[in-house]
Structure formats: C-alpha cells, structure tokens
Chains A and B, each alone.
Chain A
Amino acid sequence: MSTHLGDELELYALGDLSPEERANVEQHLATCDECVRALADAEETLAHMTSLLPAYRAPRRSALRNLWTMPAARMAIAAAFVVGLLVAAGTLPFITVRPGTTDQDARAQIAMTHAHFEHVQLQPLITGAPAVKVIYARDRSWMYAIADDGRPGYHLYLTAGPGSRQDLGELIAHDGSASLFVEHPPTGNELQLVSNDRILARGMLP
C-alpha cells in the first residue's frame, strides 16, 4: 500500500467521520497493517485520556446474564407484541408470584412478550450493593426485578411518598442471582432494594 491514511486516521479514532468517510478508512485498514498499527496507537492515546473522565463503577454482570444474552433484536420483537396485558382495572391487590423460581421467571418472560416494557437500573447507595434491574410494563401491570446476588433477604419496596412504602416481596435466590415478579403492584414512584431494614439501592420510576 503506497499511500497511507493521513489526518482521517486520527479523526476516525475520535469517532466523528461520516459513514462514507468511515467506510473509506475501514476499506484502507483492511489492507494496510501499518495504518492499523497507527490506529491502535491513536486509540491507545485516547484510552489514556479516559483517566481524566469522571469514573463510574459498571453494574456487575453475572446476574443479568439472561438479559445480556438476549439479543436486543429479540427484546425489541418481544416488546413489539403489543397485545396488552390482562389488567384487572387496578382493583386487584398486588400479587407476588412465588410458586417457584422457574415458574416465576417464565411468567415474567411471557409478560414481557405481551406488553411494552421499560426498565430502570437501581443505583447502589452502599459499596457492595448488588446490581438490580427492574423491568416493568408501561401500564405498570407488572414488575420484574433481577439482582446479581443470590443471597436471601433482599426485598423490593415501592414508595409513593412518606409513610407509604410497601414491601413487594423478597427476591427469590437462584444460581447466583435473585428475582421477583410482581403482578399489579401498588402505585409508587421510587423503588428500593432493602435488606435488614437498610436501603441498599434505589431508582425512580418516571
């Protein structure tokens, strides 16, 4: 390769080229080892700059494996199956489903295939708090909490203001993670993960 990439190599590393420019760079990179090494150097330089960014701790991964391995496309297709969930007009008391882990998770997966859903990541308030994601139907007819810690004693609470905190149930531990599926949860806007009366993590519902 007689002609190597010029400035576009660094601009490629910075990530602000048009799709056409990116394609041209990548076409060249596919045939030029020297430019690949130069790109690696540019990316190494940018990687050093990350030390100046505010640092955040990533959620631990292991317990969210099911979500991880579910391709985004499948999640989207599941969400697109808008059939509407069998809601009983909000008059039913909330029901914590705990007939068994497998059944509970299966019911959650079925619920996800029949409703639009959102999710919220609870943010840890203390070091060592498990990573918790709560998936919920847009119509709030169900919630499904998953934690990456298989220890017992984690409860999911929902609050709607001072004095209105309700325990939705204890997360059921299995295989290094724990989960809880709740149908018809009460009204509330703050989710809390609680253990031994201590709030470990929390997140806001919109």
Chain B
Amino acid sequence: MDLDEIYRSYADVCFSVAMHVLRAPDDAQDCVHDVFVRVWQNREAYSPERGSLRSFLIACVRNEALTRRRADARHRAIEAREALTETATEFEVADHVERARVRRALDTLPAEQRRALELAYFGGLTHREIASALGEPLGTIKSRLAMALRKLGRELGAQGATS
C-alpha cells in the first residue's frame, strides 16, 4: 500500500477526527497531512500487532490534534466557531449500521461511565475539566474513563461476534 492509497482509504475518517478536535478545516488538514507523512516516513515502526492501520492512524491524528489544540488553546477558541460555520462541509455518513452498533454499545455503559467518556471524547474535555464539571475527584474520573473504554471494547467485540 503506498501513501496515496493509504490517504484515499483513511483520510476522510482522520480528517473528521481532526475537525472534531481542531474545528478549523485548514488546521485539520495540516494535522492529517503531517501525521500521514510522519507515519509514512517511519512506516517500519508500524506492525500489525499495533492494531489495524486505520485505528492506528486515527489514534495518531487524534493525539496530534489534541496536542495542537492544547498548545494553542486561546488562538483556537477565537477562531473555532467562525471557521467551522464558514468553511466546513459535512457529508452524510453512509455506515448507519456501525453508528447504531456503537450507540447500542455505549448504552450498555453505566450512566456515569458513559457521561465521562462522552465528555472526554465528544466534548473534548480534559480529565481535570470533567472532574470539575461532574464534581468528582480526578482519580475517580480517570478510573471511570478507563473502565468505560474497556467495557465499551468488550461490548463492541461481543456485538461484532453476534451480529
């Protein structure tokens, strides 16, 4: 698989993840490009044991996007709303089956775990911010997030096995 093929296969989902974190198309594009090039240049470091290439790239892009946002939080906050509303083009997701499956799996989580995970993943809050928002100790939130992610993984695995 060459870089163009990898880009064609995974750029949309990675761009969507970057957009969710950074909110600005140009920044999201730069982030995705930089990660793809970096991964390609160090491709010998990736092995199948590291997971699927798709999830690996998504994780790399999300972490890079989070790092960039935190490094320039104030600047992003100023630009975010305008950039998103003016220039982003959302398209309809075709995979409704996958969405429904993930929603069902999320619904199996205890409410407090689901809430923490949603605030972290969809809300983009830091663990400390979640603790503050929910009035819980930071350690509790961290444990809750870890448990939520493990349980969600088991549920998705179980649903995948039975569907």
27 A-B pairs whose Cβ atoms sit less than 8 Å apart in the complex: A7-B143, A10-B149, A14-B149, A15-B59, A40-B51, A43-B58, A43-B59, A44-B52, A44-B55, A48-B98, A48-B156, A49-B152, A51-B99, A54-B20, A55-B91, A56-B19, A56-B90, A57-B15, A57-B89, A58-B32, A61-B4, A62-B4, A121-B26, A123-B86, A123-B87, A123-B88, A203-B87
> What's the Cα separation between A123 and B26 when bound, in Å?
10
Question: Which residue on A lies nearest to B150, using beta carbons?
Answer: A10
- With a cutoff of 8 Å between Cβ atoms, the chain B residues found around residue A59 in the complex are 15, 25, 29
Q: How far is the CB of B24 from chain A (nearest CB, A)?
A: 9
- With a cutoff of 8 Å between Cβ atoms, the chain A residues found around residue B51 in the complex are 37, 39-41, 43-44
A16 within 8 A of B: yes
Q: How far is the CB of A56 from chain B (nearest CB, A)?
A: 5
- A47 touching B12, Cβ below 8 Å: no
Contact with A along B89-123 (1 / 0, CB 8 A): 11111010011011101000000000000001110
- With a cutoff of 8 Å between Cβ atoms, the chain A residues found around residue B34 in the complex are 72
- B149 touching A53, Cβ below 8 Å: no
- Which 7 pairs, one residue from A and one from B, show the smallest C-beta to C-beta distance? A40-B51, A58-B15, A7-B146, A58-B11, A47-B55, A10-B146, A45-B153
Most chain B CB within a 10 A radius of its CB, from A51, A62, A72: A51
Known: A51-B99, A54-B19. A44 touches B153 (CB 8 A): yes
Which A residues fall within an 8 A CB radius of B? 6-11, 13-16, 33, 36-37, 39-59, 61-62, 64, 68-69, 72, 119-121, 123-124, 203-204
Known: A16-B66, A58-B11. A45 touches B54 (CB 8 A): no
Q: How far is the CB of B72 from chain A (nearest CB, A)?
A: 14
Q: How far is the CB of B17 from chain A (nearest CB, A)?
A: 6
> What's the Cα separation between A6 and B34 when bound, in Å?
31
Question: Which residue on A lies nearest to B82, using beta carbons?
Answer: A204
- A46 touching B62, Cβ below 8 Å: yes
- B25 touching A51, Cβ below 8 Å: no
Which B residues fall within an 8 A CB radius of A? 4, 7, 11-17, 19-20, 25-26, 28-30, 32-34, 37, 49-52, 54-56, 58-59, 62-63, 66, 86-93, 95, 98-99, 101-103, 105, 120-122, 126-127, 142-143, 145-147, 149-150, 152-153, 156
Q: Which of B17, B50, B89 contacts A53 (CB 8 A)?
A: B17
Known: A15-B63, A62-B4. A47 touches B58 (CB 8 A): yes
- A52 touching B4, Cβ below 8 Å: no
Q: How far is the CB of B57 from chain A (nearest CB, A)?
A: 9
- With a cutoff of 8 Å between Cβ atoms, the chain B residues found around residue A51 in the complex are 93, 95, 98-99, 102
Q: How far is the CB of B156 from chain A (nearest CB, A)?
A: 6
Q: How far is the CB of B119 from chain A (nearest CB, A)?
A: 11
- B120 touching A53, Cβ below 8 Å: no
- With a cutoff of 8 Å between Cβ atoms, the chain B residues found around residue A69 in the complex are 37
- With a cutoff of 8 Å between Cβ atoms, the chain A residues found around residue B15 in the complex are 56-59
Known: A55-B93, A58-B29. A7 touches B142 (CB 8 A): yes
Question: Which residue on B lies nearest to A12, using beta carbons?
Answer: B63
- With a cutoff of 8 Å between Cβ atoms, the chain B residues found around residue A8 in the complex are 146
Q: Which of A33, A53, A56 contacts B49 (CB 8 A)?
A: A33
- B98 touching A123, Cβ below 8 Å: no
